[in-house]
Amino acid sequence: MPSMEANIILQNDGDMERYESSLVKFMESMESNVCYERTICDQLSLETIDFKKNQLTYVMVVPKEFCNLLNTLHGGIIASLCDVVSSNAVVLFTNDTKQSFSIDLSINYATAAPLGQPITIVSNVYKIGKKLVFTETTISNTSGVCIAKGTHNKYIR
């Protein structure tokens, strides 16, 4: 993975143990991941972990391997980015290593991201229930133009 250094924003609630525990579990999850998700994560650089907003931000430059024949970011990769980044956010913000399963993934594509363009992927966990977690992910360029938005809901066991 290119970078795991991140700006970490904490709530002012004095619960450092919870944050430390979440970060340790998240890092262990990222380091032990040797499957498809690792292919995606190897292209990402972690930028911000915001415990106030339950928000995780990554940046990357669109690589050739992720492009379609038009030399723009492939739609399937966009869906994978939404899936993987929101799943990482679920692991981090639920402070849980339980298995989670996708129950719904929906992507709205707004514009293309050309080869070599820097992009930002922001995933927000906006509801954590007993068994369900709801996320929203936005992929945008450095000018803030939305490339795609995804919602991803997960069942936690």
- List pLDDT tens digits, range 12-53: 666 667 667 777 766 676 666 666 666 677 777 666 777 778
Q: How many domains does the chain have?
A: 1
C-alpha 36/C-alpha 110 separation (Å) is 25
Domain enclosing residue 130, as ranges: 7-156
Average pLDDT over residues 122-133: 94
Structural domain includes residue 2: no
More confident of the two residues 2 and 114: 114
Structural domain includes residue 149: yes
How is the beta sheet containing 55-61 ordered, strand by strand?
7-9, 45-50, 55-61, 118-128, 132-141, 146-156, 100-109
pLDDT > 90 fraction of the chain, expressed in percent and rounded: 50
> pLDDT class for 98, splitting at 50, 70, 90?
low
- The domain spanning residue 80 has which CATH number? 3.10.129.10
More confident of the two residues 51 and 106: 106
Structure-token pair, residue 129: 């229930």
